């Protein structure tokens, strides 16, 4: 049974102390894809293969902003998709593990490769396969439409849904917690 945390459902502009405190220590953000970076829809073509994935540009910009302050972003997903590979490359996400059935094993490989510790790691997922890692990382988040079991074991539930800016909401929270948000905003004006 996964460890249960006090779920924090907050407005992204309201800085909840526990979420902010945990986000301040993050050096690695691990993302699931379906239901997190996408809305979870699987568009299947006549050949039975996945035909399309839709990604949100807000999420992409948030990932780039995190990387600009030195936070590493990684993807660990159960499906294998050339579209995910292409989007990750476009965003500069270098650590992508696809076709993963045991996410904790994949996370351990990633930690060994990067030298990060679980105490420096955040993860965002939406369904049961993500329960293998969410209770173990320092800061766990999920999108608003995540399964109830996932919502019960994270530190932060976004107001936005997967594929509609939920990842950006978490990126912004980390940027604020680490004191970079306002500077980056001002630099973009």
Note the pLDDT tens digit of each residue in 75-99.
Answer: 999 999 888 999 999 999 999 999 9
Query: Distance between CA 75 and CA 97 in Å, rounded?
Result: 6
- How confident is the model at residue 7, as a pLDDT? 46
Strands 50-52, 43-44: pairing is: antiparallel
Please report, for the chain, the start and end positions of each structural domain, with discontinuous segments joined by +.
17-188
Query: Distance between CA 167 and CA 181 in Å, rounded?
Result: 15
Section 43-51 average pLDDT: 75
- How confident is the model at residue 29, as a pLDDT? 98
Do the Cβ atoms of 98 and 117 come closer than 8 Å? no
- How confident is the model at residue 50, as a pLDDT? 66
Percent of the chain with pLDDT strictly greater than 70: 90
Section 21-41 average pLDDT: 94
- How confident is the model at residue 51, as a pLDDT? 67
Residue 139 has pLDDT above 50, yes or no: yes
Section 109-115 average pLDDT: 97
- How confident is the model at residue 1, as a pLDDT? 45
Cβ neighbours, 10 Å, residue 184: 13
Cβ neighbours, 10 Å, residue 92: 11
- How confident is the model at residue 56, as a pLDDT? 93
Fold of 17-188: Rossmann fold (3.40.50)
Residue 11 has pLDDT above 70, yes or no: no
Do the Cβ atoms of 165 and 37 come closer than 8 Å? no
Do the Cβ atoms of 53 and 35 come closer than 8 Å? no
- How confident is the model at residue 17, as a pLDDT? 63
- Residue 117's contacts (CB-CB under 8 Å, 6 or more residues apart) are 111
Strands 95-97, 121-124: pairing is: unpaired
- How confident is the model at residue 10, as a pLDDT? 43
Note the pLDDT tens digit of each residue in 117-137.
Answer: 999 999 999 999 999 999 999
- pLDDT confidence band for 8 (50 / 70 / 90): very low
Residue 4 has pLDDT above 70, yes or no: no
User: Half-sphere exposure (CA, 13 Å, Cβ side) for 95?
Assistant: 24
Mean pLDDT of the chain: 90
- How confident is the model at residue 44, as a pLDDT? 78
Q: Whole-prediction pTM value? A: 0.89
């Amino acid at each position: 049974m996964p460890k249960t945390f006090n779920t924090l459902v907050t407005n992204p502009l309201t800085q909840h102390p526990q979420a902010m405190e945990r986000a301040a220590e993050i050096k690695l953000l691990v993302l699931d894809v379906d239901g997190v970076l996408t809305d979870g829809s699987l568009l299947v073509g006549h050949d039975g293969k996945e035909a399309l994935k839709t990604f949100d540009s807000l999420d992409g910009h948030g990932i780039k902003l995190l990387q600009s302050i030195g936070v590493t972003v990684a993807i660990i997903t159960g499906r294998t998709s050339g579209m995910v590979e292409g989007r990750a490359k476009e965003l500069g996400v270098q650590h992508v593990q696809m076709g993963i059935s045991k996410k904790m094993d994949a996370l351990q490989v990633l930690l060994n490769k990067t030298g990060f510790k679980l105490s420096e790691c955040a993860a965002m997922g939406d369904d049961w396969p993500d329960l293998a890692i969410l209770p173990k990382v320092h800061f766990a988040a999920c999108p608003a439409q995540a399964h109830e079991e996932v919502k019960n074991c994270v530190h932060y539930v976004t107001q936005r849904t997967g594929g509609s800016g939920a990842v950006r909401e978490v990126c912004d929270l980390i940027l604020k917690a680490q004191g970079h948000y306002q500077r980056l905003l001002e630099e973009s004006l």
